Structure 1
Amino acid sequence: MPFGESGADFAQEGRAVTAPTAGQRLAVAVDAPQHSGLDRPLDYLSEQALAPGTLVRVPFGKREVLGVVWDTGADAPAESMALRGIVEHFGALPPLPAAWRSLVEFAAGYYQRGVGELALAVLPAALRDLDAAALERRLKRLRKKIAPPAAPAPAEQASLRPLTEAQSAALDALRAQAAAEPPGVSLLHGVTGSGKTEVYLREAQRVLDGGRQALVLVPEINLTPQLEARFAERFPNRRIVSLHSGLTPAQRLAHWLQALLGEADLVLGTRMAVFAPLPRLGLIVVDEEHDASYKQQDGARYSARDLAVLRGRLERAPVILGSATPSLETWHNALPIADGGAGRYRRLVLAGRVGGGGLPRVRLLDMNQVPREQQRASALAPALMQAIAERIARGEQSLLLLNRRGYSPVLHCLDCSWKSGCPHCSAWRVFHKGDRTLRCHHCGFTERVPRACPDCGNADIQPLGRGTERLEEQLAQALPGARVARLDADTTRHAGALAAGLARVHAGEVDVLVGTQMVAKGHDFRRVTLVAAVQPDAALFSSDFRAPERLFALLLQAAGRAGRDAAHAAASEMWVQTWHPQHALFAALDRHDSEAYAHSQLAERRQAGLPPYAHLALLRADARTQEAARAWLDAAAALGSEAAAAAGVVLYPSVPTPMQRVADVERAQLLIECAARPPLQRFLAGWLPQLQGLKTPRVMRWAIDVDPLAI
C-alpha cells in the first residue's frame, strides 16, 4: 500500500462513532484559516441529536459557515461549557458516510492539513452559499429533473467484442480478487491498445449488476468526455455523472448530490472525484495511474491515486490501477518481495494489442547528423518530413508531439542579446504570433510584441526556439495542400474547442496533427500511423530525478497513438529526433520495454536512496525576497533539528525552487528525507505546531508537501 503500515492500521482500527445526544456538544469540522492552529473539529452546542457526517451551518467568528458534524467520543456535559449553538442542519441530506470521513481524516493527517480545511475543500463550493431551505428546494428540482432510469439489463455478450485471452485471464483474476477479503489492489499493466478500457467496462458491469456503484478516475479533464462516452454507450440504462473542475458550480453540486443520494451508478472524474461520497461503492478504477495530474499542487497536496488505494481498503472495494507505463512506486508495490518489491499489489499483464496488431517501430533520428542549415530551416529533419509526406499520399495521418506551446519560447535581439524575460517571474515570455503578444505562462503577464529591442532599439528581434504554433506554420509551408491542425492549451481555451478538434481528427479531416502532451495519451486515433517526438531531450538531464520517468511514459504513450487499427499496424512508426540516440531511455523505448526500464530506474533509485526506497517531504516558503524565504526555512530547520536527528530524519539546507520567482513572489524550499514513512509522519506532526508558532513577518505563506512529485 502506498502509505505503508500507517494506512492499513488506520483503515482497520477506524474511530469510535458516538452520535451526540440532545444537550451535548457536537464536534464540527469547519474551514479554519490556515496555520491558525485550529486544525481539529470545533465544539458547538446542538439542541437535537445529529449523526456524524451531517452538514450544518455554524457561527465562526462574525460569519456563518458550512461545517460537517464529525465523529466524537465521550463528551463533557454541554451545560459546563460556553459553547455557541449550531444555526441549522441540512436534514434533507443523508449524513456523509463513515468511510468518507475516515478518508478525509487520514488524508488531513497524512498531508499535514486541517480536517475541516480538507473536508470543506472537497465539498461542492455551491454548498457554502446555501441554507437548509435553499438546498431542499434544489433537491426537489433535481429529483423532478432526474428521470427514473429504465430497468438495466445484463450486457448482451453476443453484441460485445470478443475478449482476448489476456483480457479473459485478467478478468478472471480480478473477480477472484474481488471475492477475497480484503479485495486488494491490482495493477493492470497493458501496452497501449491492449484493451484496458474493455476490462474496466466488464468489471463495472459486474459491480453495477450487483447493485453497487463504481468510481472511475482519469488524470485530465480532456480525457473525461471520451471515456464517459464509452461508458454511456455500454450502460445506456445507467446513470453516469462526472466530477471535474470543468463543470459549473451548479453542475458539480447536482452531480455530487446524485452520488451522495445513491442515484448515480457510476462516477467518472479527475482527482477531486476520489472524495465523491458513494454509499454503495463496489469498484475503484484509476486509469493512467502514473500521471502526475493525480497529485494536487496547491492547498492540500494529496495524491488521488494513493487515496484511491486507501479508500478501497476502507470500503472493502477492489481497486484497479491501469497503465502502460506504471509509476515506479506502483511498480515497486506490484513486485513480489522475493524480487525486491513490496508485494502489496497483484500485477495483471496485457502484453499484446487487441486485433493482433504490432506496436509501432521506433526510429531514432540522430540530429547530430543533420546539417546545421537544415536544422535552422525547419524543426523537422528532411527524412522525417519525407515520411510525413508519404503518409499523406497514402491517406494516413501523422501526429507530432512538441511539448511547448506558442510560436517561440523567447524573442531575442541579435545586437545586444536582449531576451523577452518576464519582469515578474524567473521565466521567459513566450512569443505568440497569432495575436502578436509576449505572454508569461506562469503569471499571465502579457504585452504586445515591441517594434524594436527595448534596450538598444534594434528592429531585428528574432524568435529563438520553436513551439507548436511555429511548427504548425512550418509544416503548412513545407507540405502545401496538407491539412495541418494544432491542439494545445491555446487552441482549446473555448468550450467545445477540444471536442471539435478531436472530432476532425477522427473524421479524417486532418492529415497532420501538432500538439502538446494533451494529444499523446488516451486518444484512439484509428488513422494515425506515424508519431514523432520533436524535441524530447531536455528532460534527460533535468535536476528533477523523476523527469526521465515522466519522459519515458510520455513517449511510450505517444507511440501508442500509432497503428491502433490493426490494418495499419505493420506500417506504423514512432520517430524520435534526439541529440542523444545512445541514451538508455531510448534503447528501452525502441523495445517498448517498460518493464526493463522500470527495473533499471528502480536500481538507480535504490542506489541513490530515492523514492520508493526513501520518503520525502518539502517545506515551501514564499516571500517578497529570497533572503526572507530562506531565513524562515532556516529558522524552521533549527526548531526541528533535534527532533529530526532523534527520528532519523534528514533536513537538507534551504534552496530556491527551480522556478525561483513567480508573480513577484520569491519561493524557496527545504527537503526532508527519511528511510521510513512512520517516523517521518511522526516528526512532521510534531514539527507542524512549532512552525505555526514561528513568526512570519516577511513570509507570505508556507506549506508542507508530503510525497512531492518534483524537487
Structure 2
Amino acid sequence: MIAEIAFPIPLHRTFYYRLPAALEVSAAPGLRVLVPFGFRQAAGVIVKLLKDSEADLSGFREVKSVIKLLDASPVFTDDIVELAFWMRDRWNSPVGLSLEAFFGGRLADLYAFEDILRPTENQVLVDSPPISGFSAEAVARIGGAIGPSASENAQQGGASLSLPKVFLLTHPPGILRNEIFIPLCARAMSSGGQVLLMVPDLNVIASFAKTLSGIFGEPNIALWHSHLTPVQRKNTWTGVLSGRHRLLVGMRSAAFLPFRKLALAIVDSEHDNVYKQEEEKNKLHFHARELLLRRARSHGTCVTLASPCPSLETYGRAVAGDFELVAPVAWTHGETVGSQAEDASEKTGIGRGIGKAPAASYSALTTALPAPLSAVAGQAGVSVIDMNKYAGLIAEPLADKIKLTLERGRKVLLLTGRKGYTGLIFCVKCGWTKRCARCRVPMSVVKEEAAGVEQFLCRRCGRKDPYSEICPRCSGTIFRRSGLGTQKAEEAAKALFPAARTARFDGDVVRKSARNARETLEGFLKGGTEILVGTRIAARDRGLETLGLVAVLDADIEISSTDFRASEKAFQLFYEAYHSLKVSGAELAVQTREPGHYVLSLLKEMDYQKFLNSELQTRKDFFYPPFSFLVKVSFASFDLKALQDFEAVFLKELDFLSEAGSEGAGSEILGPVGAADPKKRKFFSQYYLVKAANEKISADCLEKLRSLTPPKKVKMTVIADPYGFR
C-alpha cells in the first residue's frame, strides 16, 4: 500500500511512501508519520492511502518506506485534510504548511493526545447583564441560531450537516459590542459549546480578556497570539482540543485551533485587513474570516461578523442573501425610525430594526442599501485642509486646531499611513532608490531612537543598512523623500508643541514590546499623554471623552494608492476616526493635496451607506471583488529578456481564460503593472492581475501557475485574493 504524504515545507507537492505490511492495518489519513526525507528523517501527514496500482510511480527508482506512525489515531480529521487542500485551491497555500498550522506547533512535536482527547465537562452558566433596545434584538436574533455544534450532533446521531448560520452585525463604532458579545458568549457556553472571539489587535485582546475573565472566570478563557511562548501555545492548543478552554480570544491564526464543540465564532472588526496573511516570507496564505466561514460548515457553528463599517465583500454577500444582516435602523441622520425603516424595507426588503437581506444575485448589489450605516448628525465637525496651499508636515490651520484643542484640556490623535521615519527616498538626479540586497524591494527610512541615527530598513525581511548622503549610482547628494512616517510626524509634533506630552503608537512599537505598547496606549487613554501619533491601529475603537481632535496628516497615501480597495480603506479610517470623537466641539481634520477626491466629498455627511452604494457600483463596472476573484502574479529579475520570455510562457499558460465559456465571462488578465524601463533600471519587477469570474476558475488558474517553473534568473510570486498593492 502507498501513502501520499504532505510535509510542512513551502512546496506545492506531496510525496509517495510505501507502508510496511505491519503498519497497513493502523494507517489512515490524518495520521502523522516519520519517514526518510533526503538525508534526514522528517514528520509528515498521510493525506491519502492508495493501492500500488492507483499510484503513478513512473520515474521513481525507489519508493522509500514509512519508518513508523507517530499517533494511535488520526490527529487531523477528514474535514481538516480536505480544508488544507481547499486552502491550496483558494490561496495557493502548500498543503503541508496548512496542516502544520492546524497542529499549532511543529509536526514533529509529540503531544500526549490520548490524555488530551479525554472529554472534559465544565459547563459554564452565567447570568447575563440586562440589556434592551437594539442590543436585546440582536442577541435574540443571533442567539436563536446558537446550539450544540454539528460535531456534537454527529456524535449523537443527529441530522446531516447544513450550511452555517452567518450574521453580519453592524454597530456604531466603539459602543454596543460588549452588550451583544457577552450575552452571546454566555448563551453558547451555557449550551455546552465553545466560543471563538477573533480580534485584529493585540491590545484589543488584552482589553477583551480582562472584561471576559471577570464574567466567565479566568480558567475558562484562553488567549492566542504571536507573543505566546511555545509552552503557552502548547497548553492553549491542547486546552482547546480537550474542551478545557471554553472561550478563546485570539488573532487571525486562532482560526486554525482544534475546537471540539465550536458553537459560536465572532469576528470583531471583520473589515480589518490584518485578517489576511499574505506576507512573502510566510508561504502560508489565508484570510481568517473566509477560513473560519469554511470551517463552520463542518461544526454547524453560528458565525457573527461584526463591524461598524463592514467590508464591501461581506456586505455584498449579506445583500445577496448569503448572510443575515443585523443592524440598528434607528442609527441614522436623526430622521424618525419609522420613516427610515419603511424606506429601507421598500427598497431592499429589510424590515424595521433587524431583518434578512433578500436573496439576490450580485447584479442586484447596487440597489439602495439599508440606512443603519450613517453617522449621527451633529456629533463632530469635519474639515478638509488643502495642502497645495501650505508647506510643512502640519499645515497652519491644523496647527491652530491642535493648539486650541490642547488649550481646552483635550487630547489630540495624529494619524499617518506609514511606520518609520519616511516611506521611500530617491535621488533627484538619477532616480536611484535604495533596495534591499536580499529582497530587492524598496527600503524605508527609520530613525534609531537611542542613537538618533537614520537607517534603511526592509519591511519584508528586517534587514538594516546604514543611511548614506551620497547616491551610489551618480554621486548625487540631493534626495527627495516620499511618504510621511510616524517617527517624522512625532518629531514634527514635538517641534511645534514642545510643552505637550507626545507619544507614538504603531506596528513597530507593538512588535518591539507588547507591554510598552499597552503602557503607551494607556498613557493616552487614561494618563497624561496629550498628543498620540500613530498609524491606523491607533484609531481602532479608541473613543474617549477627552479626545478633541483626530487629524489624518497624509490622506493622499490612503486615497491615491493603486489598490482597488484604497477608497474603502480610506473611508473606513475616516469613519472610525470620526466616531471616536465623543465630546461637543470635537473635530476630524484631513490634510490632502486632492481635496476634490470623491471619498473626501462624502466626509461632510459621513454616510457609509452612500459610500457603499457608490463603491459597489464602481466595483461592478470594473469587475473587482465581490464580483470576481483576483490572483496577483509578480515577476522580478535582473535579466529583462529572461523576465519577458517567461512572462510569455505565463500568458500562454493562462490562455484558457479566454475559452472558459459563459461561466467564465468577464475573466481577464491586466498588466503588466510597473513595466520595466531598461534605460533607467538594472532590476526589473512588474505584476499581472488575473480577474477570475468564479472560485473554480481562480483555482484552475492557480493550478496552472503551480505547474510553471521559472528559470533561475526570474522570481515569480503568486498571491490569491491580494490585499497589498503598494
Q: TM-score band (shorter)?
A: 0.7 to 0.9
Cα distance in 1 for partners of 2:624, 2:476 equals: 49
Structure 2 counterpart of 1:101: 81
* Aligned equivalents of 1:464, 1:667: Cα separation in 2: 20
Look up the match of 2:127. 156
Change in CA separation of 1:183 and 1:426 when aligned onto 2, cut-off 3 Å: closer
Check conservation: 1:334, 1:347, Cα contact below 8 A: yes
Q: Determine which of 29, 43, 48 is the counterpart of 1:66.
A: 43
Q: CA separation in 2, counterparts of 1:362 and 1:90? A: 63
- Please tell me whether the aligned partners of residues 123 and 191 of structure 2 are also in contact (alpha carbons under 8 angstroms): no
The reply on whether 1:470 has 2:497 as its aligned counterpart is no
One-letter amino acid of the counterpart of residue 434, structure 2? G
Conserved? CA contact 1:634–1:654, under 8 Å: no
Q: How far apart are residue 538 of structure 1 and its match?
A: 2.9
Match of 1:12 in 2: none
Q: Which of 389, 406, 417 is the matching residue for 1:392?
A: 406
**1:171 alignment counterpart:** 139
Shift in alpha-carbon separation, 1:307–1:690, aligned structure 2, 3 A: same
| Shift in CA distance, 74/545, structure 1 to aligned 2, threshold 3 Å | same
**Offset, 1:334:** 0.7
1:439 aligns to what SS in structure 2? strand
Matched, 1:273 2:231: no
The aligned residue for residue 528 of structure 1 is 547
Question: Aligned equivalents of 2:40 and 2:408: distance in 1?
Answer: 67
CA positional deviation for 1:512? 1.1
Q: Please say if residues 365 and 577 of structure 1, whose CA atoms lie closer than 8 Å, have aligned partners that are also in contact.
A: yes
- Judging changes above 3 Å, is the alpha-carbon distance between structure 1 residues 260 and 608 closer, same or farther for their aligned structure 2 residues? same
Report the counterpart of residue 592 of structure 1 in structure 2.
606
1:41-440 equivalent positions in 2, closer than 5 A: 44-45=19-20, 46-70=23-47, 72=49, 84-91=64-71, 95-128=75-108, 130=109, 132=110, 135-136=111-112, 154-157=125-128, 160=129, 162-178=130-146, 182-297=163-278, 298=280, 299-335=283-319, 342-350=320-328, 360-367=379-386, 370=389, 372=390, 375-376=391-392, 379-409=393-423, 421-422=434-435, 424=437, 425=440, 427=442, 429-430=444-445, 432=447, 434=449, 435-440=452-457
Q: CA shift at 1:318, angstroms? A: 0.9
Q: What SS does the corresponding residue of 1:49 show, helix, strand or coil?
A: coil
Residue 633 of structure 1 pairs with residue 651 of structure 2: no
- Map Cα deviations across residues 54-78 of structure 1 (whole Å, 9 max, x no partner): 3332333333222234365888799
Contact 1:99 1:315 in 2 (8 A): no
Query: CA 1:380 to 1:139, structure 2 compared with 1: closer, same or farther past 3 Å?
Result: farther
CA distance in 1, matches of 2:443, 2:48: 50
2:361 is matched with: none
CA distance in 2, matches of 1:440, 1:583: 32
Name the counterpart of 1:5. none
Tell me which amino acid in the other structure corresponds to 1:421. Answer: K
Amino acid at match of 1:599: N
Residue matched to 1:17: none
**Structure 2 counterpart of 1:59, which letter?**
P
Cα 1:605–1:44 change in 2 (3 A) is same
SS of 2:144's partner is: helix
CA deviation map 1:198-240 (0-9, x unaligned): 3222211111111111122222444332333333233215432
- Report the alpha carbon displacement of residue 289 of structure 1 after superposing the two structures with TM: 1.0
Aligned match of 2:536: 517
Q: Does the Cα contact within 8 Å between 1:397 and 1:530 map onto a contact in 2?
A: yes
Shift of 1:600: 0.6
Q: 1:623-679: per-residue Cα shift (whole Å, max 9, x none)?
A: 444543343232122133146524547453652569999xx9754333222333333
Cα distance change, pair 221–85 in 1 and its aligned pair in 2 (3 A): farther
User: Structure 2: how far apart are the matches of 1:33 and 1:393?
Assistant: 56
Corresponding position of 2:672? 655
Q: Deviations over 1:171-222 (max 9, x none)?
A: 1110233369644211011120231243222211111111111122222444
Residue 608 to residue 525, structure 1, CA distance change in 2 (3 Å): same
1:501 aligned partner, one-letter code: T
| Conserved 8 A contact 1:407-1:433 | no
1:542-595: CA deviations, max 9, x gaps?
3221111111112222223322xxxx3x33322222333343312333323212
Question: Normalising by structure 2, what TM-score?
Answer: 0.79
Counterpart-to-counterpart distance in 2, 1:660 and 1:546:
27
TM-aligned CA deviation for residue 608 of structure 1: 1.6
1:699 aligns with 2:679: no
Query: 3-state SS of the aligned residue for 2:277?
Result: coil
**Counterpart code for 1:259:** V
CA shift in 2, pair 1:550/1:65, >3 Å: same
CA contact (8 A) 2:624 2:691 kept: no
Give TM-score scaled by structure 1 length.
0.80
Whole-angstrom CA distance in 2 between matches of 1:201 and 1:591 = 32
Cα RMSD for the two superposed structures? 3.8
Amino acid at match of 1:315: H
Aligned length, in residue pairs: 646
Moved more, 543-552 or 478-487: 478-487
Rounded Cα–Cα distance in structure 1 between residues aligned with 2:448 and 2:173: 35
Aligned to 1:9: none
Q: Secondary structure at the match of 2:442?
A: coil
Partners in 2 of 1:327 and 1:632 — Cα distance? 36
Tell me which residue corresponds to 2:522.
503
Distance 2:492 2:322 in 1: 50
Change (3 A) 1:66 1:580: same
Distance 1:92 1:219 in 2: 37
Determine helix, strand or coil for the equivalent of 1:400: strand
Amino acid in the other structure paired with 2:720: V
CA contact (8 A) 1:25 1:76 kept: no
Shift in alpha-carbon separation, 1:69–1:675, aligned structure 2, 3 A? closer
Q: What's the CA shift string for 1:479-514, capped at 9, x where partnerless?
A: 342111111234441342211211212322211111
Amino acid at match of 2:318: A
Residue 575 and residue 217 in structure 1: after superposition, are their counterparts in 2 closer, same or farther (change >3 A)? same
**Cα contact 2:581–2:587 (8 A) shared by 1:** yes
Alpha-carbon distance between aligned partners in 2 of 1:405 and 1:171, rounded to the nearest angstrom: 39
Q: Retained in 1: the 8 A contact 2:502–2:531?
A: yes
Superposed CA offset, 1:597-642 (max 9, x none) = 1111001111122221222222334444454334323212213314
Unaligned segments of structure 2, at least 5 residues: 149-161, 332-374
Q: How does 1:31-46 map to 2 (within 5 A)?
A: 31=8, 34-35=11-12, 38-39=13-14, 44-45=19-20, 46=23
Query: Relative to 1, partners in 2 of residues 1:71 and 1:213: Cα closer, same or farther, differing over 3 Å?
Result: farther
- Quote the Cα distance in structure 1 between the aligned partners of 2:184 and 2:304: 10
Following TM superposition, by how much is the alpha carbon of 1:111 offset from its aligned partner in structure 2, in angstroms? 2.8
The letter for the 1-side match of 2:500 is A
Contact 2:456 2:465 survives alignment (8 Å): yes
**In the aligned structure 2, how far is the partner of 1:77 from the partner of 1:413?**
61
Per the TM alignment, residue 263 of structure 1 is displaced from its structure 2 partner at its CA by 2.1
SS at match of 2:175: coil
